[in-house]
């Protein structure tokens, strides 16, 4: 099997979709060495070849350029890892729809606007042979919104990076949020709850993640540390030393930081979002996203009840053990096989 994966997300320094492409690509190579996997994009990415864009045809990547590149490489299937596939269905293709946030959020960001314009008509015309989602929750949303046949849509869970493991970092006196600073992450509710907590227990709040265009701007204050994007080694230490990872998101497709925290043995407090509940599998404490007092009470219990906190840590590690990128790769490979069988039927 010769598969081309869209490498465009690798042109960005951080982000969940970048992590998805990188981890899936390498896991596929490890699990299926007999296959040939290629990363393709019209954008520069580390270690990649950017095709020439000398002519008008070459500049129309999704219409013509990607087809030329696949023909040059001899690829028989395309995996669009970020809401897009080639516009002409000359070969079988798989599209990954990570969530419905482009349609749920009021944002004019270029990336979200492109998805809103392009993805619905790709799906309506049946151009992707198969559709992948990261959770069953998103699978149901996608089937309902775009009126797709259920047998065309498959949920394949993600995983935390294998090197994100519990470290010897000493226990810290802080709660940790990790994620891109967008409005749907609901950080202002979290900060308000943390301020209530500070009336009863002096515990810090650490926010790690890059700012997003049109997102929320968090200003540091006493006890509130805003780190920006952090490296992988520092991230593992942050998760491992935290009293708990707090994730009050209003909506998620998967919620990778929750699983990363669990793999590092952190207690997790998360909202009742359907995807987060699915990923946590009963190992996290769930609070209504906008319940400020509920968040403050849960954080206070974590801070003042070490036995409960340790029980949550044990539950986190047990839940994280059910996920791996090898499992993701094998399930994705099954979808590739089905895609090849279905194409043209």
**pLDDT tens readout for residues 7-57:** 999 988 777 899 999 999 999 999 999 999 999 998 888 887 766 655 555
Q: Rounded CA gap, 157 and 339, in Å?
A: 18
Predicted confidence (pLDDT) at residue 58 exceeds the cutoff of 60: no
- Buried b vs exposed e over 164-197: b needs ≥16 C-beta within 10 Å? bbbbeeeebebbbbbbbbbebbbbebbbebbeeb
Percent above pLDDT 90 for the chain? 78
pLDDT of residue 112: 74
pLDDT of residue 155: 98
Q: Given this model, what pLDDT does residue 110 score? A: 63
Mean pLDDT across the chain, nearest whole number?
A: 92
Give the pLDDT score at 38. Answer: 96
Share of the chain above pLDDT 70, in %: 95
CATH topology of domain 174-320: Rossmann fold (3.40.50)
Checking if the pLDDT of 147 tops 80, the result is: yes
- Quickly state the pLDDT bin for 234 (edges 50, 70, 90): very high
pLDDT, residue 211, reads 82
Average pLDDT on 124-145 reads 97
Q: Which CATH superfamily is domain 2-159+325-342 in?
A: Glycogen Phosphorylase B; (3.40.50.2000)
pLDDT surpassing 90 at residue 210:
no
Would you say residue 179 has pLDDT above 80? yes
Task: Determine the pLDDT at residue 51.
Answer: 66
Q: Higher pLDDT residue, 345 or 249? A: 249
Q: Which of 56-60, 172-176, 223-227, 273-277 has the lowest mean pLDDT?
A: 56-60
> Residue 167 pLDDT more than 80?
yes
Domain locations along the chain: 2-159+325-342, 174-320
Edge-to-edge, what's the strand order for the sheet holding 224-228?
A: 224-228, 204-208, 174-178, 244-247, 268-271, 285-287
pLDDT tens digit sequence for 266-298: 999 999 999 999 999 999 999 999 999 999 999
Residue 44: predicted pLDDT: 84
Question: Is residue 212 pLDDT above 80, yes or no?
Answer: no
Higher pLDDT, 212 or 156: 156
pLDDT of residue 308: 97
pLDDT of residue 139: 98
Q: Which residue has the higher pLDDT, 113 or 242?
A: 242
Lowest mean pLDDT among 42-51, 149-158, 227-236, 320-329: 42-51
Q: Indicate the range of 37-51, 81-95, 112-126, 265-279 predicted with least confidence.
A: 37-51
Phi, psi of 146 (to 5 degrees): -105, 5
Q: Span 95-104, mean pLDDT?
A: 93
Q: Check pLDDT > 80 for residue 70.
A: yes
The per-residue pLDDT for 345 is 64
* Mean pLDDT, rounded, for 312-341: 98
Residue 42: name the closest of 13, 68, 19 by CA.
68
State the pLDDT at residue 196: 97
């Amino acid at each position: 099997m010769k598969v081309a994966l869209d490498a465009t997300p690798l042109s960005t320094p951080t982000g969940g979709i970048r992590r998805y492409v990188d981890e899936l690509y390498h896991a596929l190579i490890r699990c299926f060495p007999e296959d040939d996997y290629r990363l393709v994009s019209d954008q520069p990415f580390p270690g990649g070849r950017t095709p020439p864009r000398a002519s008008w045809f070459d500049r129309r990547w999704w219409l013509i350029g990607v087809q030329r590149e696949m023909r040059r490489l001899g690829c028989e299937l395309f995996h669009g890892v970020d809401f897009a596939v080639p516009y002409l269905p000359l070969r079988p293709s798989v599209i990954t729809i990570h969530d419905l946030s482009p349609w749920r959020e009021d944002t004019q960001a270029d990336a979200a606007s492109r998805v809103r314009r392009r993805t619905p008509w790709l799906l309506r015309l049946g151009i992707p042979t198969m559709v992948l989602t990261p959770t069953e929750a998103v699978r149901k949303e996608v089937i309902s919104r775009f009126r797709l046949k259920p047998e065309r849509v498959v949920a394949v869970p993600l995983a935390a990076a294998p090197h994100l493991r519990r470290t010897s970092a000493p226990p810290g006196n802080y709660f940790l949020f990790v994620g891109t600073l967008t409005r749907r992450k609901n950080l202002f509710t979290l900060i308000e709850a943390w301020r209530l907590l500070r009336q009863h227990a002096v515990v810090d709040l650490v926010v790690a993640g890059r700012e997003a265009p049109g997102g929320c701007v968090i200003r540091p204050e006493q006890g509130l540390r805003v780190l920006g994007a952090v490296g992988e080694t520092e991230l593992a230490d942050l998760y491992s030393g935290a009293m708990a990872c707090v994730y009050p998101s209003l909506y998620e497709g998967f919620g990778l930081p929750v699983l990363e925290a669990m793999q590092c043995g952190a207690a997790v407090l998360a909202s009742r979002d359907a995807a987060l509940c699915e990923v946590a599998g009963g190992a996290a404490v769930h609070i209504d996203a906008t319940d400020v007092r509920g968040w403050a009470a849960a954080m206070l219990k974590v801070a003042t009840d070490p036995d409960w906190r340790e029980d949550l840590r044990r539950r986190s590690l047990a839940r994280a053990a059910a996920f791996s990128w090898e499992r993701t790769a094998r399930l994705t490979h099954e979808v590739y096989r089905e895609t090849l069988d279905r194409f043209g039927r």
